């Protein structure tokens, strides 16, 4: 078994982000999101529905009497909070927060059943129904999230208690699932435990967890279909609806065929990318090239045929799902924040196997647009759906667009996205570099200091950058001793001209390019300074003509940032605007935008609304007037006066 892994991320605790763009978000997570979520989990937010999440654990632990409350997967909210706390403690020790987390972990341990089982819904409400509805009831999903939390908390604090709890649970799960007689030959309805078990394996070295994860991956989609058998066995009833229900839609769960035979992203988008992340993990750890090829095909389908320019995925709210190739409607879009976060996970795993620009480009696209757009500048309001075209009146009055919210919402009952944003932003340090014994890959340009372990020496690598506003990056190396290794610097897909100098001496970039990375081999010395100039200018982007929704339209992009028009800058009825692609685009730094940002000025025309009175249709007259347009980064939309928003703009 040869690992496919080519490089590994730098441990989070060894990366300190100090960045013009991201530090603010990390601070927001630490100071606002994590404390606010704690209050939410404890039902202390006066104007929100109670979460019940901590209370469920107290009831399961015998500390309180009562009924289970919230969603069947409510435990995962506690897990995601603990995971974010684990990351946060890794980069910002905080004894008060740690004590709170320790207390919570004590409670979780107390709720664990003698056999290792740990799911408060089934413990409290339906102990006899354990593992009878994998399709719908998220037991393995919750387990997976708590495993991720355990690993994060272990790395962040060195404390093993939750890790041990989750190992006991994983050991028990291993006795329940498998192909051996007496075991359930099944798998999870919402993929998550696969990638979590690999984390558990890597934290503990226990191969049982790796094998169990591989079992879940391999069993998925085999015939006869497990979900269908399970549905028949439980009398064709559903957790979610009364009465007899139709048999499960296998493709919604990506269980319509064995995963290694799959080539098209289908069904629930978060499930798909969580599954792909687990598949890539298994491929990397076990050397399973066939599985890796499936990952590559699915990646290709997602990124080259089913991804919005903002890095959003999932074209329909029906099942929060992929639809089909090139179907990317901008107004009825889903593009859930969690799905883009899952895409970041998937990209990150693929980068570990092979450093290719396609993975990092999509990761960057998702991060700087959909993911960061998911959270308001106050840290208390979130988008679940990330549309590319918003007409607030339609969101309110046309049910096909009810899911598209024109303003960020407070913490929801089904609070998947906010804690997902929190855990990703807090652990962002892990996504900047990967390394192996002779190469350090730089995937993201984020002001930071990192300690990287090379073959026989430690490297400290410092990035200074004005990214994403400017394409200049200064990288300084601190080394104990001279060391020959490769520094692989990502040249983003949007960049048409990149210059690199080493200690002020220019090097020929083109000769060093491999798959989107400039590979600079050198005998590096302490104090070496590498400067990168990525030409960053604003430009018009078009979509593949097969994308019907974007025909005749352009988007505006500058570096990694996609731009949009907002009503507050451009008036209402943005659809009546056409942008003049021959007139060029002007950039200007605009301090008045939240946090400050580069805005873009453009020229265009607007359909004249005069003289229409009460008519709906009339013979065509080409009456327009010239207008000045202002575009702002997509991630900022909805942070000022609410109104219309548009990414894809008609062009003349």
Rounded distance, CA 171 to CA 191, Å?
Answer: 19
Stretch that binds a copy of itself, among 166-174, 178-186, 286-294, 299-307 (CB under 8 A): 299-307
Stretch that binds a copy of itself, among 58-66, 177-185, 326-334, 512-520 (CB under 8 A): 326-334
The CA distances from residue 625 to 21, 553, 578, 621, 650, in Å, are: 37, 19, 10, 13, 15
Q: Is 393 in the site for a copy of itself (CB under 8 A)?
A: yes
Nearer to a copy of itself, 96 or 616 (CB): 616
Rounded distance, CA 274 to CA 281, Å?
Answer: 11
> Which one of the listed residues 276, 295, 416, 495 is annotated catalytic?
416
Of positions 159, 460, 576, 580, contacts a copy of itself by CB under 8 A: 576
Tell me which residues in 66-105 interact with a copy of itself (CB under 8 A): none
Stretch that binds a copy of itself, among 95-103, 171-179, 536-544, 596-604 (CB under 8 A): 536-544
Stretch that binds a copy of itself, among 46-54, 59-67, 157-165, 398-406 (CB under 8 A): 398-406
Of positions 51, 56, 262, 323, contacts a copy of itself by CB under 8 A: 323
CB of 625 vs a copy of itself, minimal distance in Å: 11
Burial of 215 (0-12, 13-18, 19+ CB in 10 A): buried
DSSP letters for 244-256: B-PPP-GGGGT-S
CB of 507 vs a copy of itself, minimal distance in Å: 26
Stretch that binds a copy of itself, among 173-181, 224-232, 302-310, 371-379 (CB under 8 A): 302-310
CB of 494 vs a copy of itself, minimal distance in Å: 9
Q: Per-residue x/- mask for a copy of itself, residues 595 to 614, rule CB under 8 A?
A: ------------xxx--x-x
Rounded distance, CA 341 to CA 217, Å?
Answer: 21
CB of 237 vs a copy of itself, minimal distance in Å: 11
| Of 525, 522, 500, residue with least CA distance to 510 | 500
Q: Is 309 in the site for a copy of itself (CB under 8 A)?
A: yes
Of positions 103, 233, 261, 546, contacts a copy of itself by CB under 8 A: 546
Classify residue 266 by its DSSP letter: -
- Catalytic (active site) residue 364: no
**b/e burial code for range 74-109 (CB count within 10 A of at least 16 → b):** bbbbbbbbbbbbbbbbbbeeeeebbebbeebbebbb
Rounded distance, CA 605 to CA 588, Å?
Answer: 21
Nearer to a copy of itself, 183 or 318 (CB): 318
| Of 124, 121, 150, 153, residue with least CA distance to 137 | 121
* Structural tokens at position 246: 């139709």
Name residues whose C-beta falls within 8 Å of residue 439's C-beta, 6 or more positions apart in sequence: 7, 485, 486, 487, 488, 519
Classify residue 267 by its DSSP letter: S
Q: Is 315 in the site for a copy of itself (CB under 8 A)?
A: yes
Identify the residue whose tokens are 């279909």: 225
Tell me which residues in 251-290 interact with a copy of itself (CB under 8 A): none
Nearer to a copy of itself, 35 or 493 (CB): 493
Rounded distance, CA 191 to CA 273, Å?
Answer: 9
Nearer to a copy of itself, 589 or 612 (CB): 612
Nearer to a copy of itself, 27 or 548 (CB): 548
CB of 398 vs a copy of itself, minimal distance in Å: 4
Name residues whose C-beta falls within 8 Å of residue 522's C-beta, 6 or more positions apart in sequence: 484, 485, 487, 502, 528
- Catalytic (active site) residue 192: no
> Which one of the listed residues 285, 320, 389, 531 is annotated catalytic?
320
Name residues whose C-beta falls within 8 Å of residue 353's C-beta, 6 or more positions apart in sequence: 4, 5, 6, 280, 283, 284, 292
Classify residue 371 by its DSSP letter: I
Q: Is 324 in the site for a copy of itself (CB under 8 A)?
A: yes
Instruction: Please give the helix or strand (H or E) that residue 561 lies within, else none.
Output: strand 561-566
- Which residues are annotated as catalytic? 320, 416
Residues that bind a copy of itself (CB under 8 A): 242-243, 300, 303-305, 307, 309, 315-319, 321, 323-324, 327, 329, 331-332, 391, 393-394, 397-400, 539-549, 551-552, 554-555, 573, 575-576, 578, 581, 607-609, 612, 614-622, 650-651
């Amino acid at each position: 078994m040869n690992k496919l892994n080519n490089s590994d991320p730098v441990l989070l605790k060894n990366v300190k982000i100090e960045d013009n763009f991201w530090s603010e978000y990390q601070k927001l997570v630490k100071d606002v999101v994590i404390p606010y979520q704690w209050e939410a989990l404890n039902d202390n937010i006066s104007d929100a529905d109670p979460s019940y999440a901590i209370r469920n654990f107290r009831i399961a632990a015998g500390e309180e009497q009562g009924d289970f409350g919230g969603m069947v997967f409510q435990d995962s909210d506690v897990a995601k909070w603990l995971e974010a706390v684990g990351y946060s403690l890794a980069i910002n020790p905080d004894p008060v927060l740690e004590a709170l987390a320790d207390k919570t972990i004590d409670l979780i341990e107390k709720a664990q059943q003698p056999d290792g089982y740990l799911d408060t819904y089934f413990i409290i409400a339906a102990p006899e129904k354990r593992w009878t509805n994998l399709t719908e009831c998220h037991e393995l999903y919750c387990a997976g999230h708590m495993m991720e939390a355990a690993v994060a908390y272990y790395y962040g604090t060195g404390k093993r208690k939750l890790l041990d709890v989750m190992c006991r649970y994983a050991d028990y799960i291993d006795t329940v699932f498998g192909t051996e007689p007496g075991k359930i030959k099944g798998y999870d309805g919402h993929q998550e435990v696969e990638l979590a078990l690999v984390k558990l394996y890597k934290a503990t070295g226990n191969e049982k967890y790796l094998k169990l994860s591989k079992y879940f991956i391999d069993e998925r989609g085999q015939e006869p279909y497990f979900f269908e058998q399970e549905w028949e066995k439980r009398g064709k009833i559903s957790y979610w609806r009364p009465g007899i229900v139709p048999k499960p839609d296998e493709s919604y769960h990506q269980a319509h065929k064995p995963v290694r035979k799959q080539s098209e992203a289908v069904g629930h988008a978060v499930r798909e990318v969580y599954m792909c992340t687990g598949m890539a993990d298994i491929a990397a750890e076990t050397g399973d090239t066939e599985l890796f090829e499936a990952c590559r095909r699915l990646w290709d389908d997602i990124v080259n045929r089913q991804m919005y320019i903002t890095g959003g995925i999932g074209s329909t709210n029906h099942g929060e799902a992929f639809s089909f190739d090139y179907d990317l409607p901008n107004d009825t879009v889903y593009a859930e924040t969690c799905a883009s976060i899952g895409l970041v996970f998937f990209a990150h795993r693929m980068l570990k196997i092979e450093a290719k620009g396609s993975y990092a480009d999509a990761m960057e696209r998702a991060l700087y647009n959909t993911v960061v757009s998911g959270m308001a500048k106050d840290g208390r309001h979130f988008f679940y759906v990330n549309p590319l075209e918003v007409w607030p009146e339609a969101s309110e009055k046309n049910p096909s667009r009810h899911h598209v919210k024109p303003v960020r919402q407070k913490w929801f009952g089904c609070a998947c996205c906010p804690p997902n944003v929190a855990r990703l932003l807090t652990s962002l340090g892990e996504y900047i570099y990967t390394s192996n014994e002779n190469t350090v890959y730089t995937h993201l340009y984020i002001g930071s200091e990192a300690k990287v372990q090379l073959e026989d020496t430690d490297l400290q690598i410092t990035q200074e950058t004005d990214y994403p506003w400017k394409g200049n990056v200064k990288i300084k190396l601190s080394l104990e001793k001279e060391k020959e290794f490769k520094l692989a610097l990502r040249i983003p897909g949007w960049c048409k001209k990149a210059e690199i100098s080493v200690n002020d001496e220019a090097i020929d970039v083109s000769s060093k390019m491999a798959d989107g990375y400039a590979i600079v081999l050198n005998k590096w010395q302490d104090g070496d300074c590498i400067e990168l100039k990525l030409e960053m200018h604003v430009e018009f982007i078009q979509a593949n003509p097969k994308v019907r929704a974007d025909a005749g339209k352009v988007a505006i992009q500058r570096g990694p940032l996609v731009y949009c028009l907002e009503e507050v800058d451009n008036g209402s009825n943005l659809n009546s605007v056409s942008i003049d692609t021959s007139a060029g685009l002007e950039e200007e730094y605009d301090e008045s935008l939240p946090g400050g940002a580069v805005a873009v000025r453009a020229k265009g025309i607007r359909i004249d609304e005069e003289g229409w009175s009460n008519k709906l249709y009339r013979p065509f007259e080409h009456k327009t007037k010239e207008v000045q347009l202002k575009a702002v980064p997509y991630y900022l939309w909805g942070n000022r006066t609410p109104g219309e928003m548009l990414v894809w703009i008609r062009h003349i």
